[in-house]
Amino acid sequence: MRSLSGEYGHLERLKSVVLRRENKEKSYEIEETVALSNSLAVKFAGVDTPEKARLLSGAEFIIARCDAAPLKAGEFYVEDLRSLEVFCAGEKVGDILDVVEGGGGSLVEIRLLNGERRFAPFRNEFFGVIDVERNTAELLHEWILA
């Protein structure tokens, strides 16, 4: 498996995980993990052949928040950004729907109040205070949504 954060230490300690593939979720017990140069090999209980393992290819690992990688200052979990209300100059302009990886970094997908959707780079030049507790994100320049 490859970690989106690039961190693996916290994943090596997992005893079980939920895998999501094609909108289906299933829990798996982890028998063994082996750290590789830029990924982690995981052996699941009951998945004993290459054919069975191939069926799990492309699955998303779903882990409990307490098992997730610790955040550094200015970092956020994507799940925490989804549904934040976006304000610019004190006025609500929309809500964050999702965060996607772009060529130059992360982009937030914002649903504007009129229902239209726009993407904005999730960078310090465009976003100020992100307050997960208050469910708000400050957009510094509304023109980025034009």
Q: Is the domain defined by 78-145 classed in CATH 2.30.30.240?
A: yes
- Residue intervals of the chain classified under CATH 2.40.30.60 are 9-67
In the chain, CATH 2.30.30.240 covers 78-145
pTM over 0.85: no
Mean predicted confidence (pLDDT) in 121-138: 96
Strand residue runs (E) in 58-135: 60-62, 85-88, 91-102, 105-112, 117-121, 127-131
| Full strand arrangement of the beta sheet holding 85-88 | 117-121, 105-112, 91-102, 85-88, 136-139, 127-131
pLDDT of 131 = 96
Round the average pLDDT of the chain to a whole number and report it. 91
**Bigger pLDDT: 40 vs 118:** 118
Would the pLDDT of 68 be above 90?
Answer: no
Q: Could you please state the CATH topology (level 3) that the domain comprising 9-67 is classified under.
A: Elongation Factor Tu (Ef-tu); domain 3 (2.40.30)
DSSP code at position 123: S
